[in-house]
Amino acid sequence: MLFFKQIKIHRHELGLLFRDGDFAQILDPGQHFVFDPLGKIRVDVCSQRDPYIAHNQLDLIVQSGALQDRAIIVDLKQHERAIVWIDGRFSRVLGPGLYALWTKIRNVNVETFDARDVRFVHADLKTIARDATARVQLDICDVERECVGVLFLNGRFAETLSPGTYAFWRGPADARIVEVDLRETMVDIVGQDIMTFDKVSLRMNAVVTYKVVDAVKAVTTTSDVRQSLYRDAQLALRSVVGARELDNFLTDKDAVAEELEAAVRRHAGELGLEILSVGIRDVILPGEMKDLMNKVTEAKKAAEANLIVRREETAAIRSQANTAKLLADSPTLMRLRELEVLEKIATAGKMNIVLGEKGLADRVINLL
């Protein structure tokens, strides 16, 4: 037994025997005695619990045919990929190369795909996408709710994707998804210094409410659709306000907002947007102009108050004139009026009457 080498291989193992550096055979579980007088025999013991056969001479072992009925051989070309399932559970995604997997102890299943079909579709995509190792071979993207994804392959538009999870093979093509939010969105146009037609400087803030109705246009027409809308609204605001005098603008801001909305809406359709509303939120006058406007308003209110007083005085005088005419034309009405006056005087309590003229005294006595 001097020149024999004893090798023990357990039930879950196999031995890869090499003679003088070249693969010779596979040793099954059990006790083995190998004649090796020159020490040129080497046995690499592999556990079949780990299905993947990792060896630097795997190509020679596969070519020998010794793995037939013992392992699955996977030889992936440059455009091919494979997904490995072990005991019904996802294991890993394989890229181009030569692989071998033991099949005696573990249930191994291999699915092969052509990566030239760039989009990867699978019933268990959610499970595969959760594994970090899958992202070595797959680009995995999520399109959120209330959004759509615009897919570009090698820089060209391919299709529009609804919300969900998507995967694309790395390598054969460059896949990119641009996510577009379809919800209502607002753009604030703030701090705009604009000069009116009569050379009054105003600081204004406006707001534009919009939503995307054509995601492809919104992505392909401009690099930043929000910035483009902001620029268009800014220029339209300056054009509309700059064509009006200050008084005209302040008295008819609704008409200004309508004209501004019409101007913004014309170009928004080319960007794939629908304008929901455009409004002027704030108008800030310069300090000296604000003081002047306050003085004008104060003067107008004072004039209006003075006019109201004069109107009331005129109405009172006119009423007195009408009353005097009625009393002059009707002695009976005059008599009733005199009695009303006396009644009011009598109800006051004590009454002292001092009369100097005899005729006047007689007339008062007669009234009493």
Q: What is the DSSP string of 256-279?
A: HHHHHHHHHHHHHGGGTEEEEEEE
Q: What is the pLDDT of residue 183?
A: 93
- Asked if pLDDT for residue 320 goes beyond 60, the answer is yes
Domain edges within the chain: 115-183, 185-284, 286-329, 331-368
Q: pLDDT of 216-255, one tens digit each?
A: 999 999 889 999 999 999 998 888 888 888 778 878 878 8
Q: For the chain, what percent of residues have pLDDT higher than 70?
A: 87
- Size of the chain, expressed as the number of residues it contains: 368
Please state, in angstroms and as integers, the Cα–Cα distance from residue 227 to each residue in 189, 231, 234, 281, following that order: 11, 6, 10, 20
Task: Give the homologous superfamily in CATH for domain 185-284.
Answer: Band 7 domain (3.30.479.30)
pTM metric for this prediction: 0.67
> Which amino acid is it at 332?
T
Q: Where are the beta strands (DSSP E) in 124-172?
A: 138-143, 147-153, 156-161, 164-169
- What SS3 class is residue 359? helix
List Cβ neighbours of 198 (8 Å cut-off, separation of 6 or more): 245, 246
The β-bridge partners of 34 are 5
Rounded to 10 degrees, what is the CA torsion of 186, 190, 194, 196? Answer: 60
